[in-house]
Amino acid sequence: MSAPIPVPQETERELMHRRSVARLAATQALYQVEFGGGRTEDVINEFVDHRFGAEIDGERLGHADPDFFRALVRGGVGRQEELDALLKGSLSRARDPSRLDGILRALLRVAAFELLARKEVPAKVVIDEYIEVAHAFFSGPEPKLVNGVLDNLARHLRPSEVS
């Protein structure tokens, strides 16, 4: 009997990249649930089964961490009212989450959920990652807004991590 073939372990860098892709995809999925009217589980399955690693319009999409993606989408949708209340407290008085651009609102909900519920991910990582997601969608002032809102949320939700 031969020895089992060793399975290479995923490096920390590969895992971080797959989580970055999951964050971007979760933002898109929340947007799709809200504006496409799809059921959360159907949208999750569509992404996991057909989008991750697929080639679309000649470009290969990245592979995401599917479990992390599922948790972000389910949390972002399932705790939407709670997340919107947190966001409202972190936005200027003139802004309400319901009045934000749809993709920006989805991004902030996912990020707020991660700050609230995924304590194993440092707040600084969450903030930096979603600023990058904002840059993928916006070229205007939105990334600065994301930075400010998430920094404010982190100070409220994880004061020991944010000085």
CB within 8 Å of 90: residues ≥ 6 apart? 149, 150, 152, 153, 156
Q: What is the pTM assigned to this prediction? A: 0.88
Measured distance between the N- and C-terminal CA atoms of the chain, rounded to whole angstroms: 57
Could you tell me how far CA 34 lies from the centroid of its own chain? 15
Q: Which sequence spans correspond to the domains of the chain?
A: 12-157
The pLDDT tens digits for 55-96 are: 665 666 678 999 999 999 999 999 999 999 999 988 876 577
Read off the pLDDT of residues 87-107 as tens digits, 9 standing for 90 and up.
998 887 657 777 889 999 999
d(CA 127, CA 112): 10
CATH number of 12-157: 1.10.940.10
pLDDT tens digits, residue range 4-62?
666 566 688 888 889 999 999 999 999 999 998 889 999 999 999 988 887 665 666 67
